[in-house]
Amino acid sequence: MKIHGTGRRIMLAWIESKRDEHRREGMEAVIALLWPKKKTYLALRALAFATGLTILGGKSGSQLAAECGVSKQDFKQAASFFRLKLNLRRTRTMRSPTGCAKMKLTNFVHRKINANK
């Protein structure tokens, strides 16, 4: 079915109004997540990290944590909060649960070896 003339303009206007409505709802959701946070600087960077935004200039979670004045663990928890709330996949810079488990084992081994010295 082809729509010509006035019908086409009405349909395009309706589609654009729906797009605008969805954009607004998306922004409201993001603002609602950031609004109650006392550390907005940290929250905004954690949200950007969780979404994989390139605005971060390829900075790692460790670098962003240092910029925000928090530990790597605090930054990771903040990013995970946003990732889970927004139902986002892990970005390439985030460790998988398997990677985290392996890291814990490796760190434990290092501590154990250093304790014997």
Cβ burial of 51 (10 Å; 0-12, 13-18, 19+) is middle
Residues with Cβ within 8 Å of 70's Cβ and at least 6 positions away in sequence, in order, are: 39, 42, 78
Residue spans per domain, the chain: 1-36, 38-116
The pLDDT tens digits of the residues spanning 5-48 come to 788 889 899 999 999 898 888 888 888 888 888 898 899 999 88
The pLDDT tens digits of the residues spanning 43-74 come to 999 988 888 887 778 888 889 999 899 999 99
- Tokens linked to 68: 């925000």
The class (CATH top level) of 38-116 is mainly alpha
